[in-house]
């Protein structure tokens, strides 16, 4: 896909990995809608950075937990840009609960994590597909996690929601082909505010356990999104970028 002049929507685009993806896509000449739920200041700061390098960008608030949140978000992008070529579902949430602590996992936690991490990805893609097809198609890329590929992670509901997101990637790739491609990137340990709930000892242990003996570079993960955005021959795929934490 030709990135220059195309339009991308990034949920969770104001902080951490989302911000880095936005900056790298902006450097490629894309126009960007940076979506946020609560991090308004950070999203607007990311938009200012993008505009300083000549990128047309806008910050858009959306609560993906609501029934109409995904559709309203896509409609706002349509009204502002008139098109959508790339949807990146990067919004996510978790709870830090040891796997053995089953009593702390409530129905409310299950519902919230699946709503944000998995269900909203489906309804965003459903809302975005008609808009993409008006201009010949596009691509959806979801941020999954190596927690969806192994029995590990911040909590059981989080790991299962990411496993479901990975399967959703494959299902949507089939449903939206041939004019819309759907892929996913599964990062390892990223040293962003996301891991603030992990004890320092656990973070060090995870770094030591990786084959490359370090956390995953955020810029390297973002570069995988850019690669997928450009590629026209991949769909239904999950790209792992984790410094070798998920061993073969």
Give the angle subtended at the CA of 141 by the CAs of 138 and 147, to the nearest 5°. Answer: 165
Q: Which of 158, 161, 162, 245 is catalytic?
A: 158
CA distance linking residue 138 with residue 109, whole number of Å: 33
Instruction: Dig out the tokens for 57 from the structure.
Output: 């960008």
Is there a contact between 104 and 80 (Cβ–Cβ < 8 Å)? Answer: no
CB atoms within 10 A of CB 54: 8
* End-to-end CA gap in the chain: 31
Is there a contact between 87 and 128 (Cβ–Cβ < 8 Å)? Answer: yes
Cis check for the bond before 120: say yes or no (omega within 30 of 0): no
CA atoms within 13 A on the CB side of 167: 8
Cis check for the bond before 113: say yes or no (omega within 30 of 0): no
CA atoms within 13 A on the CB side of 16: 19
- Is 36 known to be catalytic? no
CA distance linking residue 133 with residue 131, whole number of Å: 5
Is there a contact between 186 and 144 (Cβ–Cβ < 8 Å)? Answer: yes
Q: Which residues pair with 11 in a beta bridge?
A: 35, 89
So which residues are the catalytic ones? 158
């Amino acid at each position: 896909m030709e990135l220059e002049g195309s339009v991308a929507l990034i949920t969770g685009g104001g902080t951490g990995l989302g911000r880095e993806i936005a900056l790298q896509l902006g450097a490629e000449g894309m126009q960007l809608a940076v979506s946020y739920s609560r991090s308004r200041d950070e999203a607007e700061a990311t938009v200012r950075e993008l505009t300083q390098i000549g990128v047309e960008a806008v910050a858009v608030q959306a609560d993906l937990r609501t029934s109409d949140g995904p559709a309203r978000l896509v409609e706002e992008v349509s009204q502002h840009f008139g098109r959508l070529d790339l949807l990146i579902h990067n919004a996510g949430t978790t709870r830090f609960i040891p796997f053995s602590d089953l009593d702390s996992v409530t129905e409310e936690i299950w519902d919230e994590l699946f709503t944000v991490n998995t269900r909203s990805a489906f309804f965003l893609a459903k809302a975005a597909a008609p808009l993409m097809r008006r201009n010949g198609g596009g691509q959806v890329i979801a941020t999954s996690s190596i927690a969806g590929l192994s029995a590990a992670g911040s909590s059981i509901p989080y790991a299962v929601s990411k496993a479901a997101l990975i399967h959703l990637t494959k299902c949507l790739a089939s449903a939206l082909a041939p004019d819309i491609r759907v892929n996913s990137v599964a990062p390892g340990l990223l040293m962003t505010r996301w891991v603030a709930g992990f004890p320092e000892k656990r973070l060090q242990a995870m770094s030591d356990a990786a084959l490359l003996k370090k956390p995953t570079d955020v810029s390297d993960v973002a570069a995988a999104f850019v690669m997928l955005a450009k590629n026209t021959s991949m769909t239904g795929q999950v790209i792992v970028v984790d410094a070798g934490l998920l061993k073969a």
